[in-house]
Amino acid sequence: MMRHVMWLLLFSTLCPLLQAQTVLATESVKKAVVFLYATDSSNDKNSLGTGFLIKVPVKGAPSSVVKNVMTVEGSVLLVTARHIVDPAWGYCSRKQSDTIYMRVNKKDYDPTKDTTGVDYLSVLLVKNGVKQYFVRDDDDEVDAAFVDISAEFPQDKYDAVPMVSYLFASSDEMKKLQIGDSIASAGLIPGKSGEKRNYPFFKFGEISNIPDEPIWMACDPGMPELRLERVWFIATNLVGGNSGSPIFFVPLPMCLPGGGATCTRGLSRPAIIGVQSSSVGGADIAGMTPIEDVFKIIEQHSLPNLDLYRGEETQRK
């Protein structure tokens, strides 16, 4: 009995240390996360949520795409929650907008001289009555969408670098995930976004539940739950502005290759496993659209010359 108590005390002491030693490349994540607004204004009352940039490389792209993402040819996608770009779908209180704005950090910024270090880039959602964003047309229970911003995104002027689609967890990797696995997110908190720069807030938690059926969800806090959505639940206190944030699986450092331990649970690398779709007020629980459903949107609407591989880059055959 005493030995059991000692192990519990040791484990409770080590857990915070292990969580603090996150293996997630937070600097890269910060450059890929963008804030979405209804207007080109710094007024946080106009904030809609979060999005993140993903680059899908062309087939035959050179090795080490992750390290050379800026120079590799491919499509740049803005990924977010569907209810942000299509509020009617989610029975949200907002009206549909033809354009939203992506708030990004400028690359050349001197805090001692410049009044602001951000710009607002327009993202066209509807043109001549035609949707410019893509969703699961064959599945009405997926709260995820993307906009192809390849033509409009001037990558040399802004400190915004997309993550590579290889970082999406593969089908086999998603099957390994279990309740209790560690996760992290990075997104907007309304009112705390920063006046001169974007400051994504990182939050950490665990997978709380993996339902095998769609769940009734609401768009806004206090609104009726009117939309059936296919979600996983994660145990972390995410708020409305986090909608559209990337959700990562975060392995313990000791479980990585060369980490000194053999771990049978979970993945052996950090990977994007979903997009935050909603928060459950007062429960410290949030809904996550699994990346499997997000990736199907890209598969359905991507150009035929793009490389749709996802998984460990070094494991490619």
CATH number of the domain bearing residue 256: 2.40.10.120
Residue 76: strand pairing partners: 55
Can you tell me which residue has the tokens 């409770």?
12
Identify the top-confidence range among 179-193, 203-217, 246-260, 300-314.
Answer: 203-217
pLDDT single digits (tens) 202-260: 999 999 999 999 999 988 777 788 899 999 999 987 777 789 999 999 987 656 555 55
The answer, as to whether pTM is greater than 0.95, is no
In a domain, 5, yes or no: no
Q: How many domains does the chain have?
A: 1
Q: Could you tell me which residues come within 8 angstroms of residue 143 by beta carbon, excluding any fewer than 6 positions away?
A: 81, 82, 83, 90, 217, 227, 229, 231, 275, 277, 278, 287, 289
Q: Which of 209-213, 272-276, 279-283 shows the lowest mean pLDDT across its residues?
A: 279-283
* Residue 50: pLDDT band with limits 50, 70, 90: very high
Q: Which of 13-27, 134-148, 190-204 shows the lowest mean pLDDT across its residues?
A: 13-27
In a domain, 303, yes or no: yes
Degrees to nearest 5, angle at CA 206 with 294 and 15 = 145
In a domain, 6, yes or no: no
Q: Residue 154: its pLDDT value, please?
A: 66
In a domain, 3, yes or no: no
For residue 10, the SS3 value is helix
pLDDT at 16 over 50: no
Q: What is the distance between the alpha carbons of residues 261 and 252, in angstroms, rounded to a whole number?
A: 10
pLDDT single digits (tens) 67-115: 778 888 999 999 999 999 999 999 998 888 999 999 999 988 888 888 8
In a domain, 16, yes or no: no
Q: What is the distance between the alpha carbons of residues 201 and 192, in angstroms, rounded to a whole number?
A: 9
In a domain, 110, yes or no: yes
Nearest to 185 by CA among 18, 32, 15: 32
Domain residues for 53? 25-310
In a domain, 18, yes or no: no
Nearest to 165 by CA among 139, 146, 184: 146
In a domain, 146, yes or no: yes
* Residue 10: pLDDT band with limits 50, 70, 90: very low
Q: Residue 317: its pLDDT value, please?
A: 63
